[in-house]
Amino acid sequence: MHNTTNPLKNKDENKPGNLSQFGSELKTKAQDTGTAVLDKTKEMASTASDKAKDAASTVAQKAEDFASNVGHKAEDATSAVGDSMKNLASSIRENAPQGGFVGSASSTVADTLESGGRYLQEEGLKGIGEDLTNLIKRNPIPALLVGIGLGYMIARATRS
């Protein structure tokens, strides 16, 4: 049985022109295939890059949203603590004696709690941070000594 579709079995296979033409066509097809594979690879790499960028953008947005939510919750908690401090000050005023040494001390404690609660409600964590930064800028040496002391106390507490 004679296979006419196989170019190697063709009767003209030994002619130099046909082999050269066959080699040229094979080379062209190989180049075309290589170019197609390269184009497809570039396209896939571009798609993967775009998907990675989209995923990174999504993760960054979610992290930003999470940080924002945590910040809002922390501010809400600070405000709630301030409100509780003011309520405690009110309770102390109602239940403490009005006169004498104990009355004077309880009135001072209530006033301090109320002003602290008001400060927390009005300023929040951001205000506390700004005030602390300003205090450290005005008094750098004492702030450094306090930091060293706190570090020493923490180290002692965690070592035992």
Q: Does residue 94 lie within any of the structural domains?
A: yes
What range defines the domain where residue 24 resides?
19-159
Structural domain total, the chain: 1
Q: Does residue 8 lie within any of the structural domains?
A: no
Segment 45-90, tens digit of pLDDT: 888 888 888 888 888 888 888 888 888 888 888 888 888 899 998 9
Q: Does residue 90 lie within any of the structural domains?
A: yes
DSSP E strand stretches across 68-111? none
Confidence grade of residue 16 (pLDDT, cut at 50, 70, 90): low
Q: Does residue 11 lie within any of the structural domains?
A: no
Exposure pattern of 122-138 as b/e (b: 16+ CB <10 Å)?
ebbeeeeeeeeeeeeee
Q: Does residue 1 lie within any of the structural domains?
A: no
Q: Does residue 3 lie within any of the structural domains?
A: no
Tell me, what's the pLDDT at 147? 93
Q: Does residue 14 lie within any of the structural domains?
A: no
Confidence grade of residue 31 (pLDDT, cut at 50, 70, 90): confident
Segment 106-160, tens digit of pLDDT: 889 999 999 999 998 888 888 888 999 999 999 999 999 999 999 999 999 998 6
Angle between helix 100-138 and helix 16-95 axes, rounded to 10 deg: 150
